[in-house]
Amino acid sequence: MNYRHIYHAGNFADLAKHLVLVAVLRRLLEKDTPIAFLDTHAGAGLYELGRDEAARSGEAVLGIGKLHLNKAPPALQPLLSLVSQVNRGTWAPNAPPRRYPGSPKIAALLLRPQDRLVACELHPADSILLRKLFAEDSRATIHRMDGYQALKAYLPPKERRGLVLIDPPFEAPDEFDRLAAGLGRAVRKWPTGVFLAWYPQKEAAGVQAFLAKLAQHRIRKLLHVTFAVAAPSAERLSACGMLLVNPPWRVEGEIEPALNALVASLQAPGGCVGLEWLAGDATTGAATV
Ligand SMILES: C[S@@+](CC[C@H](N)C(=O)[O-])C[C@H]1O[C@@H](n2cnc3c(N)ncnc32)[C@H](O)[C@@H]1O
């Protein structure tokens, strides 16, 4: 396992994924009843952007480094206020913040006392960091385990409401196959759950094959969101996709302006946002949230 998320924390793809994550979680939290959040590939949870790895990749500078709470459009504020919280007043304009929160931390900042967070991370060092980060949080359970096994072990959650984030590193050549199979199987286990899966868009043929495999699972309500800062390239990540199963009613009306605001704020001339229903649509009724 070579992948470490510290190299990529706060890059454009993290921001796009986290804007969608925040929009979905906020909608799920509108009702008082508890939710469960399962993060199958959680990472370390909080990233120090001053560390060598982040500085060497330079990805955060081109991502979160271009944004600031006081200057960004309102559609970005829900995420940026969480980034601000983990920086406790130290985030200076025109520079990346010192810290950037990962998906489990972002969720934990939004979840209420009645909610539950389950986070899985396989990397030995990052799983230790994650465990330390949540040591005092009684809502959280951290497992050093395979995220796809977690889908088998922990679904459906006892709350019967909630969100599953599947955000693998795409190091292994068969990751697209594992993701399609894992997501399809998980939705069969929990047909009313909300799922968010992220993938990189590098080669069109690989993405098409992945979407075709996913279609075999006949998921009934599936929104495909794409985000690019430049045309997809095999060499360097410049575009990504997200699949949302059973998205909360009309959440796309929040996601689209947030991602458009992100493209504009990142000053990416070749950037674009796409939203397409692959199955079901906004008119077919709200998913059970
Ligand atoms: C893209 S990063 C996660 C980023 C995180 N979800 C976020 O948004 O902040 C993927 C993570 O999955 C971990 N990982 C790799 N294979 C895994 C597996 N089979 N099960 C669980 N975690 C795994 C990697 O160590 C890495 O930290």
Question: Catalytic positions, please?
Answer: 167
Q: Of all atoms in ligand 1, which is nearest to the CA of residue 146?
A: 20
CB neighbourhood size of 191 (10 A):
15
Per-residue exposure over 87-101, b if at least 16 CB sit within 10 Å of its own CB, e if not: beeebeeeebbebbb
Q: Which atom of ligand 1 is nearest to the CA of 172?
A: 16
In whole angstroms, what is the distance from residue 63 CA to residue 267 CA? 10
Q: Are 159 and 33 a contacting pair, CB within 8 Å?
A: yes
Pocket test for ligand 1, best of 1, 4, 5, 24 (most atoms within 8 A of CB): 5
Q: Report d(CA 95, CA 145) in Å as an integer.
A: 36
Is 0.85 surpassed by the pTM of this model?
yes
Q: Are 31 and 112 in contact (CB under 8 A)?
A: no
Pocket test for ligand 1, best of 8, 41, 183 (most atoms within 8 A of CB): 41
Taking CA atoms only, the protein residue closest to ligand 1 atom 17 is 122
Q: What is the dihedral of CA 180, 252, 101, 36, to 10 degrees?
A: -70
- C-alpha 41 – ligand 1 centre gap (Å): 3
Along the 289 residues of the chain, how does pLDDT read in single tens digits? 789 999 999 999 999 999 999 999 999 999 999 999 999 999 999 999 999 999 999 999 999 999 988 889 999 999 999 999 999 989 988 788 999 999 999 999 999 999 999 999 999 999 999 999 999 999 999 999 999 999 999 999 999 999 999 999 999 999 999 999 999 999 999 999 999 999 999 999 999 999 999 999 999 999 999 999 998 888 889 999 999 999 999 999 999 999 999 999 999 888 999 999 999 976 554 443 3
Measured distance CA(155)–CA(145) in Å, rounded: 15
Helix 12-28 crosses helix 103-110 at what angle (to 10 degrees)? Answer: 30
Give the C-alpha distances (Å, rounded to integers) separating 21 from 78, 208, 283.
Answer: 11, 24, 22
